[in-house]
């Protein structure tokens, strides 16, 4: 019992920090990524618990623990988060998750990968829980509307050791359109038949969704370890993440995370101070893709890109 209470209070103080940082109006999507939101989306892979652990912004995970869709929460009382409503209906949201780093942060030729598109989500009263501040939070779920995913969740499958960013965004569906209609240009995305070369900015414009009302992101590489408690301090990630060699990356390192398997990896074959090139790391990349393909085959996937 005492250990349960201490674990719980740890989670709660972390959540307070998350809420505080959300209040500071910092972008909750990664540097250089658009669209963005200053509202933190609380998300967890710690499924079906009454006291979930919400991963930190940019938290590093091992791939295994991210293969079921994260459960995401918004403040329970803010049913009108986003544009004001003149309706008595509860607000309806669309959840979108993309990977802009496929097949690797150095080579984004297949990006973005569309990992998840779930319209018809609402704040669910039955999943309300409390934070340290007695703020009620509530899980976003499409159960109430019985809306199927347009593109079902597919967990991360990054072929590169360098971690990919997985960005989860929540949009308010336009007033009166509880039944989300895919823009014509995106019909071929239905069911996840084609997840590559997605463009979140373009999709959001064509679907008339406006800015995300909340967002978050996490990191997974082919060898990363972690449970979302730590940010990334390794190399090879996209600009602004960890000790990035790309662009002007200069995020705070924080502690731990993600370094697993990196000894003799990216650091050894990446020319320091310059962006890695295909010629410089081609053999390594093929080897990683080979390993990735094996993992993908085990997972029953036909391809492995993001
Ligand atoms: C707690 O609630 C107060 C009053 O509503 C608010 O000003 C404050 O920002 C909240 N703190 C956190 C951590 O959410
Ligand atoms: C969480 O609950 C849902 C619905 O009951 C279930 O389908 C899912 O497998 C559960 N997830 C875990 C990790 O237990
Ligand atoms: C990861 O998944 C593999 C394959 O399903 C499993 O054998 C392994 O035990 C899992 N590892 C963890 C830490 O859950
Ligand atoms: C938030 O929701 C809870 C539960 O529905 C309710 O008891 C509480 O009064 C609400 N708080 C505010 C500030 O609306
Ligand atoms: C809600 O507001 C929109 C835009 O102002 C308007 O087009 C719509 O008719 C209104 N709906 C209702 C039910 O009043
Ligand atoms: C949404 O779809 C459901 C089921 O197909 C239907 O009953 C409902 O009338 C539709 N709502 C709108 C606003 O089109
Ligand atoms: C997937 O969609 C993109 C963007 O429309 C397109 O360029 C690409 O050819 C499509 N891929 C497949 C396999 O259809
Ligand atoms: C994505 O779409 C936006 C809006 O249409 C466009 O400005 C941008 O160039 C596109 N990005 C890519 C990589 O095609
Ligand atoms: C995450 O992993 C660390 C290190 O293995 C462990 O100390 C911590 O309790 C874990 N946290 C959660 C929320 O599982
Ligand atoms: C990183 O941040 C430090 C301290 O703010 C600054 O001195 C340094 O020039 C920055 N490096 C890059 C590459 O932006
Ligand atoms: C971030 O990592 C760099 C390189 O290892 C180190 O010099 C710097 O002190 C770290 N910054 C923080 C805030 O830990
Ligand atoms: C990065 O994280 C690892 C694992 O937690 C730690 O051993 C190492 O000291 C960290 N490096 C920096 C520069 O913070």
| Domain boundaries, given as residue ranges, for the chain | 2-298
- Per-residue pLDDT band for 5 (boundaries 50, 70, 90) equals very low
Question: What is the pLDDT at residue 14?
Answer: 43
Ligand 7: residue of 98, 186, 188, 302 to mutate (most ligand atoms within 8 A of CB) is 188
Contacts of 124 (CB under 8 A, 6+ apart): 138, 139, 140, 141, 143, 144
pLDDT at 77: 63
At 7 the pLDDT is: 43
List, in sequence order, the alpha helices (H) in the chain. Answer: 2-23, 200-206, 266-269, 278-298
For 154-181, the pLDDT digits (tens) are 999 999 999 999 999 999 988 666 789 9
In ligand 8, which atom is closest to the CA atom of 199?
Answer: 1
Percentage helix, strand, coil for the chain under 3-state DSSP, each rounded to 5: 25, 20, 60
**What would the pLDDT profile of 172-212 be if each residue is shown by its tens digit?**
988 666 789 999 999 999 999 999 999 999 999 999 999 99
Whole-angstrom Cα distance, residue 95 to residue 117? 6
> Of 64-68, 91-95, 291-295, which one has max mean pLDDT?
64-68
Residue 49 CA, ligand 2 centroid: distance in Å: 10
pLDDT at 73 over 50: yes
Cβ(236)–Cβ(106) under 8 Å? yes
**What is the whole-number distance in angstroms between the Cα of residue 249 and the centre of ligand 10?**
9
What separation in angstroms does the CA of 57 have from each of 14, 168, 180, 205, 215?
11, 11, 29, 25, 10
pLDDT mean over 6-35:
58
Q: Are 259 and 283 in contact (CB under 8 A)?
A: no
- Using the predicted structure, report yes or no on whether residue 24 has a pLDDT greater than 60: no
Q: Residue 12, Cα to own-chain centre: how many angstroms?
A: 21
- Of 216, 220, 228, the closest CA to residue 254 belongs to 228
Ligand 2 geometric centre to CA of 178 (Å): 25
Distance (Å, whole) CA 21 – CA 41 = 11
Looking at domain 2-298, its CATH class is alpha beta
Q: What six digits make up the tokens of 202?
A: 């373009």
Q: Using one digit for the tens of pLDDT, what is the confidence trace for 81-127?
A: 555 555 566 788 999 999 999 999 999 999 999 999 999 998 876 77
Q: Quick check: 289 pLDDT over 50?
A: no
Give the closest residue to 113 by CA, choosing from 235, 198, 228.
Answer: 198
pTM score: 0.72
Q: What is the pLDDT of residues 39-62, one digit of tens each?
A: 899 999 998 787 889 999 999 999
Which ligand places an atom closest to the C-alpha of 52?
A: 9
- pLDDT at residue 79, as a whole number: 52
> Cα of 7 to ligand 9 centre, how many Å?
11
Tell whether the model's pLDDT for residue 151 goes beyond 90. yes
Give the atom of ligand 7 at the shortest distance from the alpha carbon of 199.
4
Nearest ligand, measured from the Cα of 61: 9
Which of 201, 203, 206 to probe ligand 8 with, by most ligand atoms within 8 A of CB?
201
Q: Is the CB of 181 under 6 A from ligand 6?
A: no
pLDDT, tens digit (0-9, with 9 covering 90-100), for 241-273: 998 766 544 333 333 333 322 322 222 222 233
Measure the CA–CA gap between 185 and 193, rounded to whole angstroms: 14
**What whole-number distance in Å separates Cα of residue 69 and Cα of residue 53?**
15
């Amino acid at each position: 019992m005492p250990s349960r209470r201490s674990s719980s209070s740890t989670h709660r103080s972390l959540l307070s920090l998350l809420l505080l940082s959300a209040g500071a109006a910092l972008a909750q999507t990664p540097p250089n990524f658009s669209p963005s939101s200053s509202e933190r989306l609380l998300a967890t892979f710690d499924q079906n618990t009454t006291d979930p652990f919400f991963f930190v912004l940019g938290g590093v995970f091992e791939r295994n623990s991210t293969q079921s869709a994260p459960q995401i929460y918004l403040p329970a009382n803010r049913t009108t988060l986003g544009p004001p409503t003149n309706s008595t209906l509860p607000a309806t949201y669309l959840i979108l998750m993309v990977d802009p780093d496929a097949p690797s942060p150095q080579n984004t030729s297949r990006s973005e990968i569309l990992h998840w598109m779930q319209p018809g989500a609402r704040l669910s009263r039955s999943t309300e829980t409390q934070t340290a501040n007695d703020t009620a939070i509530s899980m976003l779920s499409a159960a109430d509307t019985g809306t199927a995913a347009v593109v079902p969740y597919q967990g991360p499958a990054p072929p590169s050791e360098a971690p990919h960013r997985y960005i989860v965004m929540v949009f308010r569906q336009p007033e009166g359109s509880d039944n989300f209609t895919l823009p014509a240009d995106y019909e071929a995305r239905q069911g996840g038949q084609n997840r590559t070369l997605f463009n979140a900015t373009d999709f959001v414009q064509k679907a008339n969704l406006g800015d995300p009302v909340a967002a978050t992101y996490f990191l997974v590489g082919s060898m990363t370890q972690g449970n979302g408690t730590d940010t990334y301090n390794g190399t090879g990630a996209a600009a602004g993440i960890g000790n990035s060699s790309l662009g002007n990356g200069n995020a705070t390192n924080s502690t731990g995370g993600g370094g697993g398997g990196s000894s003799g990896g990216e650091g050894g074959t990446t020319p320091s101070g310059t962006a890695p090139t295909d010629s410089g790391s081609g053999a390594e990349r093929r080897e990683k893709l080979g390993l990735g393909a094996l993992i993908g085959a085990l997972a029953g996937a036909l391809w492995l890109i993001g």
